[in-house]
Structure 1
């Protein structure tokens, strides 16, 4: 028996159907509270003039989450002392890291600091400088880090009262 064909009056649903009254909703409203609201996917924004989603421009702006934003977010420009680790795409902001010979320390994460060039006398380097950490030095004899960290995780001395 042949399979009946789809009836001619059934239309496929539009992938990006947006009702005009939903466009004017507050874009700052929490998304969890309005699951019926149509959202634009990452890499797009809500373009009121066309009543639907419009794409962000590669290398210029982006959106990383589903949204109802009236425009894409501008891409971050790396600061001086930083270099681009990953470029900006329509769905992901620019990723910056410190240039070689500098690092971003936990004590001052807003700028890159110059790496130490060597260890003090009696110390040896156990880790080179990376964009996220200065060099690490240990005592030549005792093999303990100068910052007071144990070189092997889990080897912490416990004190009894």
Structure 2
């Protein structure tokens, strides 16, 4: 039994040795043609680094965002990339992808990644540096290259007080044009007494308009009363004339009737 196993093992080793001797291995930069014992160069943008009997080559790597080509790809070597100035590699070995860290900003259309200077910050990757806030109420937390400044809360201003002032107007030219003294109580929301006084004093132009308006109104009332009086007189006169005419007609008509009646009675007798 063991004798047969030794014989089979020896035959298997001989087959492997025969296969390695008669199989053609393609050198680096080439691949084996499928179904044939021949080799050919790797296509463009492909490579192979070791000799072997592979029928395919590997694709060249591409340098991505934040990275640039250090050594170009060729049939026997892959592309070698490097990070742009200021960028940080995600993959330390190949450096095909790099980022501009927080606290740094992009410059010159993304070709450089520079640390934000004093007064500027960036809180996102691959972003520009932004200016700190201008705090009019004071800075509560100073800013740095990774965070903005925090301002003190704005204190709400107190509401204006209501000032109630009383004035006794005894002169037309001082406060308000009035003929008789009156007590005027006026409420204003103001922060200065001079503002209240200035709002009470009317302008000369408005005073003239006020006089004209009153004059026109008085004239209109007088004309209206005269018209009503005239209309009443005419109406009264017409009524009196009509009453006299009616009484005269009645007196004229009564006499002949009585006379005609007497004549009729005498005839009957």
**Alignment TM-score, normalising by the size of structure 2:** 0.27
Between Structure 1 and Structure 2, which shows a larger proportion of strand residues? 1
Larger Rg: 2
Higher helix fraction (1 or 2): 2
